[in-house]
Structure 1
């Protein structure tokens, strides 16, 4: 999101896309390279356009206090305009808006500047290796087919680590599918809150990094076991893109029944784990525990807001509402009433 990127941990920011990308049910059959359709094939599902309402909101309540929870999704249709009128009414009558939980690193302005030069080349393989050198030949063969289909002749990506090469492939596929990652929905909610003078509150937590420059340097010089992430991206990319189109349409149209029926198994876990379980994270427990700490930080912030305010508006990624580790289920287990939109 354009308004908060400067507050993310420098190197964690580079992993933002893998942390957001979503995939199809893992039980789905992988798409093999020889089954790839022609580069100019029309997507099976046409993404929606025009003004769309998005999903309804969940209601969390206790003792006369209420929290309205809105679920975001990415990627969304490029040509969709979100109708925020319903959300605007709820935000306007609330005392506080909780933004989605993110891990932030406050390392100081000057320390951040000294770390910036070390970020150059972080996406590249150590020792200037290319993808052909670091992945099995059969995996590389699948990569060349999909690269030709979605990326084209750009050879610069051949020097990327598998986790980043896979991300470039996914982004190119999204563009051809009429989808895009972006912060337009969250930016609109923030603008509504500011216009109505409603307090905006972070719901995440601070990551303490003693030496971010060393962390980046170690990452650049070390091997990362990201083959699982890369292979999963290649095996299911076409299926994943179709699933994303279906999900994007369901979100745009506010089809809660269809959204609820979707499996939110995450490709992101394999990609994020490739980094968080790597050798550079051995001494950084805060990095390895990011996901659980984010969940606990949000729950703590949400309960405080519910106690302090008559009305609160909160924003979560929709998989954190409906997924197996649902934040709202956790609130329900603590005695709060939770009502889903129809």
Structure 2
């Protein structure tokens, strides 16, 4: 387990910012055990993933290796993709426009769009984790908060790069296993016009910004504990640790905008959940043995994905 030194720093409102030493969990770690979903003789083994994790950690599980060697299908974690049907070259040409879309409309700065108390908190954290980066001051709050969050993770020895996915994909390829990606796909018509429209769109993203700052100020020590607990497979510790997540507020800020509503980008969490559940049930019906991944927070929630499968008559066994 990592030994983290807590070094307090003054914050604008008098509270302390905790500067974590680099997480020392490294090398090969087993991660948690697997959840078992079954109906009759058909079994779906589910691996609970976590982000962020120690950036110098390698995941290796003999239990998972044995299951993958016997599996007929792998169901990946759910996601969202956007298809603009424009090709690689035209996509590259649109990058400058995409970068401009991160900026506040009409050239506004963060200090112009944020309440004074929120901007004061941002300024302290920015100095700590981003230094003198002036460009980010022109960004919309949601994008600026994301940049700050990633910098805070890096300074704490954590990374959002997945450690499970690449290992599972490599094993699936080695064994010739069918892989299913339950992805909610959206078609973006006239991408250039869509980018221009987004540049003019206002986002109600102050709650996303506020919760991201809250998490950086208050949750970094717990992130380190969760990462270490996951690494060594301590599911009980993961259950006991509070789990804060600003992502839902940020997703709501985007999907609630008129730009997103016009394109059907509403109720994304429910759509993503249903996509994974459909893929999981199909795998269970079709295959004797299947393997899947889901964020471990979903597996630990009493009303998460597995509870819905259980309500349909599937047997659930926790590790």
TM-score, normalised with respect to structure 1: 0.84
- The structure 1 segments of at least 4 consecutive aligned residues displaced by more than 4 Å after TM superposition are none
**Which of residues 97, 115, 130 is equivalent to 1:151?**
130
Aligned to 1:104: 81
Q: CA deviation at 1:282?
A: 2.8
Aligned mates of 1:307, 1:227 — CA distance in 2: 44
Aligned to 1:337: 315
- Structure 2 vs 1, CA of residues 226 and 166 (structure 1 numbering), >3 Å: closer, same or farther? same
Q: CA deviation at 1:61?
A: 0.4
Aligned mates of 1:66, 1:211 — CA distance in 2: 44
Aligned to 1:75: 52
**Which of residues 107, 114, 118 is equivalent to 1:128?**
107
Q: CA deviation at 1:104?
A: 2.4
Aligned mates of 1:224, 1:158 — CA distance in 2: 16
**Which string of whole-angstrom CA distances, capped at 9 and with x for unpartnered residues, describes residues 123-169 of structure 1?**
11112211111111221111111111111111111111111111111
**Which string of whole-angstrom CA distances, capped at 9 and with x for unpartnered residues, describes residues 25-52 of structure 1?**
xxxxxx86432348xx444x94522221
What is the number of residues matched between the two proteins? 307
Instruction: Say whether 1:183 aligns with 2:162.
Output: yes
Aligned mates of 1:338, 1:308 — CA distance in 2: 18
Instruction: Say whether 1:172 aligns with 2:151.
Output: yes
Aligned to 2:305: 327
Report the secondary structure of 1:282's partner residue. helix
Aligned to 1:34: 14
Aligned to 1:113: 90
**Which of residues 59, 62, 74 is equivalent to 1:85?**
62
Aligned to 2:118: 139
Aligned to 1:259: 238
Computed over aligned residues only, the root mean square deviation of the Cα atoms, in angstroms, reads 2.1
**Which of residues 306, 329, 333 is equivalent to 2:284?**
306
- Structure 2 vs 1, CA of residues 236 and 296 (structure 1 numbering), >3 Å: closer, same or farther? closer
Aligned mates of 1:173, 1:156 — CA distance in 2: 18
**If each structure's strand is expressed as a fraction of its own residues, which one has the higher value?**
2
Instruction: Say whether 1:290 aligns with 2:268.
Output: yes
Aligned mates of 1:243, 1:159 — CA distance in 2: 31
- Return 60-69 or 102-111, whichever deviates more: 102-111
Report the secondary structure of 1:61's partner residue. strand
Aligned mates of 1:136, 1:206 — CA distance in 2: 36
Report the secondary structure of 1:121's partner residue. helix
Aligned mates of 2:224, 2:65 — CA distance in 1: 26
Aligned mates of 2:161, 2:221 — CA distance in 1: 19
- Structure 2 vs 1, CA of residues 213 and 85 (structure 1 numbering), >3 Å: closer, same or farther? farther
Aligned to 1:228: 207
Q: Which runs of 5+ in 2 are unaligned?
A: 1-10
Q: CA deviation at 1:325?
A: 4.1
Q: Which runs of 5+ in 1 are unaligned?
A: 1-30
